[in-house]
Structures are given as structure tokens and as C-alpha cells.
Amino acid sequence: MHGWIIIDKPLGLGSTQAVAAVKRNLRSAGFGKVKVGHGGTLDPLATGVLPIALGEATKLCGRMLDASKTYDFTICFGTETSGLDAEGEVVATSDVRPTLEQVQQALVQFTGPIEQIPPAYSAIKIDGKRAYDLARAGEVVEMKSRGVTIYALSVQQPDALPRSDALLGSITLTADVSKGTYIRSLARDIAYALGTVGHVSMLRRVRAGPFALNGAISLDKLNAFGQGAAQEDIILPIEAGLVDIPALDLSPEQARAIQQGRVLTGIAMKDGLHWARDADLRPIALVENIGGALKTVRGFNLTP
């Protein structure tokens, strides 16, 4: 059992709970013990795309963590909370409300490489402890600024909003971001730039690396699979997590060399990551070409 199950994670469910649900349903479906891991934590208060890797696909979880992601999120203006989301105590308020025109102007400064300070309520480790554990214990948490990239940032359905000079209580944005980006911090900083405060009242991940919502399944569909429904459209092949990089077809001799961890030379190809496949189109390794030397990054043990 190797591949991916892409969950449309519902509100209130943690990522580890989603992994447990996948394990439980795989057992119920008769697949026995399968190695399972997720490709990027999604907060319980967030919904959307949660890639869950099975078997040899778990070797790609690290790559999935590094992938860019796209979110829809709503900033509620006038109130900042301790967690920068709908939970937590109110820590600041403001009577200032921005207009659509002001929001659109402010978004320009948050597009491209930016510096942001992660929320105190985050999974970042400080001296070996999770920041959210320290914050919940009442300790003052000093979060360090980090560099991230906002590839695109826009107002969702601006034509459906009030006229450009009307005051807005909230606004929904879409952001395409690099790894390590905290949407809650982005929302906080956008509100600050508009002379007010705010928090995230809705957060939905619509894409994680090569996976999008149109390939995600509900928990109901996952549970139906566990109760005997067809596997079709539930488990995606391992190569579904590799479609954003080129495939490399190898001869039987080249495939054996890669599987043995040897370096290949003399293949005319561009530098960078590729996924190598054998004559049966079976993925055998994630490989990287650097200056004409093709090396194995991660091998896949997919027996025929």
C-alpha cells in the first residue's frame, strides 16, 4: 500500500487525528499495518487540503513540507486575539476599519519576500519546547523574525464587496505562500499596516504542493472506504506527489544503478530534481542532477 490519501480536513480536527482516521479505515478495509504520515500540519481551526502519505510515499513528506501552499483566509478587523485566530482572549481592539481600496493598496507591501514574526501560539520549538506550550503556561514567548515569500496575495471576489470607499468589518484574501509562512501573522501584519488590529476568523488551505481541493475527499468518504466502498479515487498513486517535477525514464541498466545508489553520468538533462521511473513506468527514486551527475535523493522500494 503506497500512495496518497488527500483529506479535506474539517474544522476542529487535528492533523494527528486525521492520520489516525486514515490508519483506522485502512485496517477496516483489510490493508493491515501501513506506514502513514502527513505532509504538513493543519491547525484544528483550519480546514482544507491535508496530504496523507502511505507506505513509500512517506519518504516524500519532507518534500511536501517544503512545498508552496495556497490559502483562503478571512481577516476580522477590530479585534486581535492571543492566538491571532477565533480562539484565545482578546488582547487589543480598534475602532478603525479599512476600505477595500486601502486593503488593496496595503497588499502590495506584503507581496514578495517579507519578514514576519510567527505567532506565540505556534509549533515552533524554543529551547526544546513548543511555543504554544510555553504561551499556554503563561510564559512570555519571544518569537524571532523569519523570512518567507508571498508569491501572490489578492482580495477574493472584490466585485462582490461594497464600494471601494465603504468601511469593511472583514475581508477574505487568497495567498500563495512559501513554506514556513504563518497566515495568522500575515493577517495581523496586514491589519497593522491598515492602522487597526485583526485576527483570522476563517482559514482554508486550497492547495498543498501538487495537491488541490478537487482531489481531496471528505471524512465521510474515507469512512465509507473503511466500510467496504471502492478504492477508486481514494488512494492516489505515489507519483501524484511528484507531478510538479519532471519524470526521467531509465533503461533497465540505469534503473539498477540508481537502485544501487550509484551516480549516473552522461545523461542529457537539466539540473534539478526529477523522479526516475523504470521500463514499467514504476517510480524508483527521487533523483537530482547536478552538473551532469545524477544522484539518488530518496529511493522507493516498490516491488512489482
Partners of residue 204 on adjacent β-strands: 47, 72
Read off the C-alpha cell for 132. 504554544
Read off the C-alpha cell for 124. 515552533
In angstroms, rounded to a whole number, what is the distance separating the alpha carbons of residues 28 and 280? 31
Q: Which residues touch 193 (CB under 8 Å, ≥6 apart)?
A: 106, 109, 110
Catalytic residue among 43, 72, 189, 278: 43
Is 43 tagged catalytic?
yes
Q: Mark 137-161 as b/e (b = at least 16 C-beta within 10 Å).
A: eeeebebeeeebebeebebeeeeeb
Read off the C-alpha cell for 205. 488551505
Degrees to nearest 5, angle at CA 121 with 14 and 167: 95
Catalytic residues: 43
